[in-house]
Amino acid sequence: MNKWNEIKTAYQVARLGTISAAAEALGVHRATVLRHIDALEEELGEKLFQRHTRGYIPTESGLDLMRVAQATDDQFNQFVGRSKGRSTELTGELIVTSLNIVAPLLMPAIGIFQAQNPKTTVRYLTSDKLFKLEYGEAHIAVRTGPEPNQPDNVVQAFATHPVGMYAHADYVSRKGKPNSIEDIAGHSFLGFENIDSKKGKPQFQVWIENNVPSKNIVFRCTDTNLLELALASGIGIGFMTEQRAKLNPDLVEIFPPNDEWSVRHWLVTHGDLHRSAKVQAFLKILKSKD
């Protein structure tokens, strides 16, 4: 099947989600994009996308095509670079994903990477979504929590955020400060609620469930940013990274960070793209800043 142009078009639609965005990225009319998609689906004999009012969502076959096209595009760009005698010049996109909490660790490396490779574009996606590396949704993911164990991925330890227990000064003035674990029964706590059973619980939440009576957990939410807001509002005692706590002078340390509560981050790349020039260049910068 000689449909590389159509495959490139379908890849852009899968990546960007709409016909118009894909047409703009490719520099063609949207009618061309539609024609390519129709031709490719006819050739393959199956649908690559589900059409919705909010855009084009890849089917399983569409996601598989996206993975193949991403890997092929990266490898082809490397070949072109080598054949022109400029293998050190990187082009195209580098897609990085992490939670918001990791951004301060990654942004300096992103700045250095783009200064060294001005013809590249970095797309930094901050979300708690687990982007599928095997489908080319990202080149590098920083995963937070237990060590990832997907067999096709390359996993490396990246960083650890110490986590302590804090309360707002207003809360302490109203209810006092517990001096030991035995004192926590008289206090209100903030808890994290995990609605995705596939994701592990933060270690600090495991500690709360094991040590704090359920009736004392007066506020629960699914977002660590909301936990921080609740903590800063004086609703109760909660956990926060030491790094973030230092930014709020009104927070009072209840118990100092310990290893049991630490939040660990992991660099994750898919085996097919781990050795690509862009991924290796970015990883080298990150490791040099350890």
For the residues 6-29, what does the mean pLDDT come to? 86
What is the predicted pLDDT for the residue at 85?
Answer: 47
- 3-state SS string over 95-140? EEEECHHHHHHHHHHHHHHHHHCCCEEEEEEECCCCCCHHHCCCCE
Q: Over the stretch 66-121, which tens digit does the pLDDT of each residue have? A: 877 777 776 666 665 555 544 457 888 899 999 888 998 999 999 999 999 999 99
Determine contact, residues 148/266, Cβ cutoff 8 Å: yes
pTM over 0.75? The answer is: no
Crossing angle of the two packed helices 30-44 and 19-26, in degrees rounded to 10: 110
How far is residue 88 from each of residues 77, 175, 202, 282, measured CA to CA in Å? 11, 61, 40, 13
pLDDT, residue 80, reads: 59
Q: What is the pLDDT of residue 195?
A: 58
Average pLDDT over every residue of 246-251: 93
Average pLDDT, the chain: 86
**pLDDT reported for residue 200:** 64
Mean pLDDT of all residues in 210-234: 90
Q: What angle do CA 273, 156, 16 make, to 5 degrees?
A: 40
Is the pLDDT reported for residue 23 higher than 70?
yes
> In this predicted structure, what is the pLDDT of residue 41?
86
Looking at the DSSP bridge assignments, the partners of residue 57 are 50
Q: What are phi and psi of 281, to 5 degrees?
A: -65, -40
Q: How confident is the model at residue 190 (pLDDT cuts 50, 70, 90)?
A: very high
% of residues, the chain, pLDDT over 90: 38
